[in-house]
Structure 1
């Protein structure tokens, strides 16, 4: 096939670059896209997307591939022309989003001008896409239809072609794509906006088209003209959604499936594949989550996602829409709504208890696939937000145990196993002892024990049963494993959270084992855990003291912190921590000095120098430490530093608010800023914010206001 791609050998591919280096492999990938072997084709497309079109980037080699991709799309001998056209549209769409005059550079330093290099080629070949949009193969049509909205510059002709396609198509997917392409055309070409939005309004209110087409027209008209969104949009959308997903007819008792009657069907289901022994189970779970991420189960999901995007800050309307989605009799619609509910709760403040209860309603024993997703979503929420789901989680756990026995945690049924484990771990995060039997089963059988370890620390009231098991596992752990993915890492964190001093011997032994295997991060984590027990861990001093002079800075800091916590000797701890203020661990060292308080006064000159640092985080940590050491007398100096850092970097908000809370009445000048923060509808905290972080930030802000009031 490569010989048919005229001129490909005259392109200097090696002079170009992609995400991972020179582009000399690109011709081979283009050839393999035409292979009769599906596996070869899949690898070729994957390689091209992963390197020459990495994360949507358009490099010079990507643009140079266009003539050959267009030739492949035109060749009827190519087995998967639709995949080629989808790739062309992905490249073209990405180029349209680039600055027309912009110059971009690949990681290898090669320059490209995506808009100038790609968009003219796509427009010149627009007639190819017109032809593909009427191809006999529905997959080809689906891939090509969006191009009619993206690359035809004659608004009248493009709109006429799209209307023709809607009349000609009988498939739901194709018709929805036509409506979306018309909206794209309207947003791209001003001449098309009026005619297209009028047509969409007519489609949305005409009872003749199917409900999914009317819903698409309704949503895309809102996208094109958000200024005309009114109170009737969401009720109309939910009414159309109900028409698309009517209540199913009652099931005849004789036809009821055994699983619906609560009977165990595990023996009839193939077991999950055995895990790869060379891959840590936590990492395997991450990849499994990635595989699930982005799956779409209902044909309306993309439309409803678009509607949520256009509604944006209209939270009551979005909540009403999600309520209809989560109450839908259609299981696929409910499942996909879980992700949207997570997104709304994760991005916006407010009372989400109604949505949480609706997520809890998805915890049905007869639908483990949806129940697992809902339980996972609930487990990711802070306990205060997930509280309304407590009883539903407990009921699901008990239903599983009643129907499948006490070993259900380790059932070979993959869907049931995930649903049960997600429900148990979510219940444990609420501190509910009804999760304990599942956790003990995991620890005793070693079946996915790592999941139990991750949440065991939330049940301090069950330390008597959990701690001996986890201490034994820690003693038997392989400390030569890479620390972040090792069993020991999770066990140390769990024992620290559990907070029972009986864990001190096991943690002390873990420090020694980590040092023996030169696992400095592991040793530091175990030292931080020991520091949690204060003078109650003084018996570990012999293992801790030598590490306070370690070369590894993480280990040295952790040892210095532990020395202070275990023996409370500022004469020893303060000089060590002050020395660390000149290293990249300066922020953590400042925090420990702040916790020491007035006895760390010798560090104040150094901490004051850090107030001049260019990095906001350094200034925040040093200012907080100065106040905690110097007391109210330092408030006038540190308050402006804290507020300025907060203004420049909102991810510092929680740390700043905690310090303001400790400042008491001296923080009064910060009240307007605190009130402004709490008035925000969108969650704060920067790029890496979480719901839990933002909820804690709000609690700290309210505490400050109450204290100052």
Structure 2
């Protein structure tokens, strides 16, 4: 099985963590008779040799041996090896090969990909060619005795093996002969993938999918076919799609009986963790996830589908619906009050997994979670008292309630703050609660007084508390801020981060922090000059003292906090920063989009001239969607002067997709920032 493995110079190769000398051990581990060793080895392959989808020279060298393992009859867990090979060969592609890549003249992506020359330094291209070259092994595995292998192979075969007529005939044959109900949906998914990858040969596959959508086929198979049809031929979907899907879902749920819990390994690996987190009805989750993804911007249909899922008597169906709602909420804009309220109802369930899923989704919705606030408040009120033991993280229902802006979170946060060990994120919660959080200020101050000086955890503990105190403008905490400022860590990186957080808090305190003026003046000559000058202006208003360090910081080659920080500080000074206008105009030509954006905002706030500002805004808005929040906030301040770029604002408001939505990941505050952008866009139009 491993013939030739010791002849490969693995030590001369690399993976994500350096030398690839350990790769033979990982490959041999995949063939271990012990389940936990196989899982650990597969985790190592994903974690190092194929780290986050990357392809290294050691990844390419592993491919022949992975094919040897995949073809070894009787070896357990080969389905995972087939999936690894498919991932390696598909590295560099989009989420769905049907949505990316150039098609050949006959509309055949796979043929075009095979015929493309690949340079020796294109590891992703070479990986695809290597998996294509070995894809004959997949042909031998379509009728393998292991159902997990038969489940993994069809999509790999369609992705990497040519000859569309042969592939289609093989899929039809397997659909007819496959005895395992758990494998048949994978074959249906492969039909949809075939239709997307081989549009020139897709008609028979689409017709087959249409036939599979109808009775007397099994509800699960019909759901799989509808999901694939939505992705490759949405015009062939039934007019009553949502009622049909909901009815099939409920029928399937009544018939579905979870198989015996599979043996779980105890290895502490990412793969092991993911396996333990799998939903009780993983097949049902995949079926509906595929359909939701294919429906995309059809938010009305997706909301109706979610409502049907959430009305199911089956806990697994409702849990799957909650998780699927996350992708909808993060990517698309719509009125979500009804599905959010239904997700809130799941918080009353006795099923811990369902409650946990609901809280996880509500956490990132912020104000959009308001329809579920009553249920969140009930859950917070019923939570056990943790004051005597402390926790490393804030209870998630409380976090979700606070992020929604509900004042009922304040008493619970106060109880958390009365304990000496405070979860770090607690201080940030005040920013979402507005004036209701004022009673928390003395407690934040008490906890800040207990933060140790010059310790590794100093910044991590202090920064959230400082954020909260700054949000509440609680200047009574100036002595505690100065204590930390004078005792800041000696290590430069930790010191600068802490000093900047302290300076921002003092800036928020304004004139009431006059006691801090001497300390801030001392900082004007160091690496935190820009934030210190910003704070000093807010506290004392001495333009002669703060302008020189801010002007120096505008130059990219100078220390002082960076041009962007300086530009933002100068903008807050308004007309008092007029001497900075030449430097800010130069900064609008910066190669860095955030520096250009900050400079343009400052130019408006200082001089009130839209001419040099609006072209910068237009270019930055299109180049980097993350700048839109900053730009829209400035357009609110500009009123009618911003009208020439209001076409961008109207286009944004008309877009159904969130401005931060992207494939392959998401940020915890993406929904919040998008809702703020929409608010500011509407306000900017109203103010014109």
TM-score by length of 2: 0.85
Q: Deviations over 1:246-283 (max 9, x none)?
A: 499xxxxxxxxxxxxxxxxxxxxxxxxxxxxxxxxxxx
Name the residue aligned to 1:524.
500
Instruction: Say if 1:449 and 1:465 are closer, same or farther in 2 by CA, change over 3 A.
Output: farther
Name which of 666, 671, 674 aligns with 1:694. Answer: 674
Q: Which of structures 1 and 2 has the larger relative contact order (alpha carbons within 8 angstroms, sep 6+)?
A: 2
Checking the alignment, whether the CA contact within 8 Å between 2:531 and 2:569 is kept in structure 1 is no
Match of 1:129 in 2: 141
Separation in 2, partners of 1:570, 1:105: 55
TM-fit CA distance, 1:411? 9.2
Partner in structure 1 of residue 224 of structure 2: 216
Name the residue aligned to 1:199: 208
Counterpart mapping for 1:537-686 below 5 A = 537-550=513-526, 552=527, 555-583=528-556, 585-631=562-608, 634-685=609-660
- Greater shift, 166-175 or 336-345, is seen at 166-175
Distance 1:158 1:95, change over 3 A: farther
Aligned to 2:78: 81
Deviation of 1:409 after TM superposition, in Å, equals: 7.3
Distance change (3 Å), C-alpha of 1:599 and 1:151: closer
Give 3-state SS (helix, strand or coil) of 1:432's partner: coil
C-alpha distance in 2, partners of 1:345/1:111?
A: 32
Of 286, 295, 308, the residue aligned with 1:311 is 295
Asked if structure 2 preserves the Cα contact closer than 8 Å seen for 1:587 and 1:622, the reply is: yes
How big is each residue's C-alpha offset from its partner over 1:259-312, in whole Å with a ceiling of 9 and x where there is no partner?
Answer: xxxxxxxxxxxxxxxxxxxxxxxxxxxx99x96997444322112121122111
Answer yes or no: is 1:703 the counterpart of 2:683: yes
1:181 positional shift: 2.3
**Contact residue 154 and residue 190 of structure 2 kept, 8 A:** yes
Q: Secondary structure at the match of 2:659?
A: coil
The CA deviation at 1:441 is 3.0
Q: What is the CA distance between 1:93 and its match in structure 2?
A: 4.2
SS of equivalent to 1:300? helix
1:289-304 → structure 2 map (5 Å cutoff): 295-298=278-281, 299-304=283-288
Matched residue SS, 2:524: helix
1:394 to 377, 391, 410: 377
Listed as ranges, the matches of 1:134-213 within 5 Å are: 134-135=144-145, 137-190=146-199, 193-207=202-216, 209-213=217-221
Tell me by how many angstroms 1:121 deviates: 1.9
- What do the CA deviations read for 1:669-706 (whole angstroms, capped 9, x no partner)? 22333222222111225866712222222222211211
**Is 1:338–2:290 an aligned residue pair?**
no
CA contact (8 A) 2:229 2:237 kept: no
Change (3 A) 1:245 1:446: farther
Note the 1:222-621 alignment, pairs <5 A. Answer: 222-229=230-237, 231-246=239-254, 295-298=278-281, 299-364=283-348, 366-383=350-367, 385-398=368-381, 400=382, 407=385, 421-446=395-420, 449-459=423-433, 461=435, 465-482=439-456, 486-514=460-488, 518=492, 519-550=495-526, 552=527, 555-583=528-556, 585-621=562-598
How far the C-alpha of 1:65 sits from its partner, in A, is 2.4
User: Aligned Cα RMSD in Å?
Assistant: 3.3
Deviating more after overlay: 533-542 vs 361-370 = 361-370
Q: 1:344 to 1:80 in 2, by over 3 A?
A: closer
**Are the structure 2 counterparts of residues 172 and 439 from structure 1 closer, same or farther at C-alpha, using a change threshold of 3 Å?**
farther
Change (3 A) 1:328 1:470: same
Partner of 2:130: 117
How far off is 1:475 after superposition? 1.9
Segments of 5+ residues of structure 2 without an aligned counterpart are: 102-112, 257-269
Is the deviation greater in 646-655 or in 528-537? 646-655
Distance in 1, Cα, partners of 2:395 & 2:316: 22
The number of residue pairs the alignment matches comes to 645
**Contact 1:126 / 1:151 at 8 angstroms: preserved in 2?**
no
The alpha-carbon distance between structure 1 residues 36 and 87, as it changes in their structure 2 partners (threshold 3 A), is same
1:349·1:683 contact (CA, 8 Å) conserved in 2?
A: yes
What SS class does the counterpart of residue 659 from structure 1 fall into? helix
CA distance in 2, matches of 1:409, 1:389: 26
Tell me if structure 2 keeps the 8 A contact 1:82–1:139.
yes
Kept in 2: contact 1:479–1:488 (CA 8 A): no
Q: 1:545 to 1:568 in 2, by over 3 A?
A: same
For normalisation by structure 1, the TM-score amounts to 0.82
CA contact (8 A) 1:19 1:51 kept: yes
The alpha carbon displacement at 1:508 in A equals 2.2
Residue 565 of structure 1, CA deviation = 1.0
Tell me the distance in 2 between the aligned counterparts of 1:30 and 1:568: 66
Cα distance 1:90–1:610, how it changes in 2: closer, same or farther (>3 A)? closer
Structure 1 245/447 Cα, relative in aligned 2: closer, same or farther at 3 Å? Answer: farther
Distance in 2 (CA, whole Å) between partners of 1:428 and 1:68 is 52
Contact 2:427 2:466 survives alignment (8 Å): no
- 1:268 maps to which residue? none
**Cα displacement (A) at 1:490:** 1.9
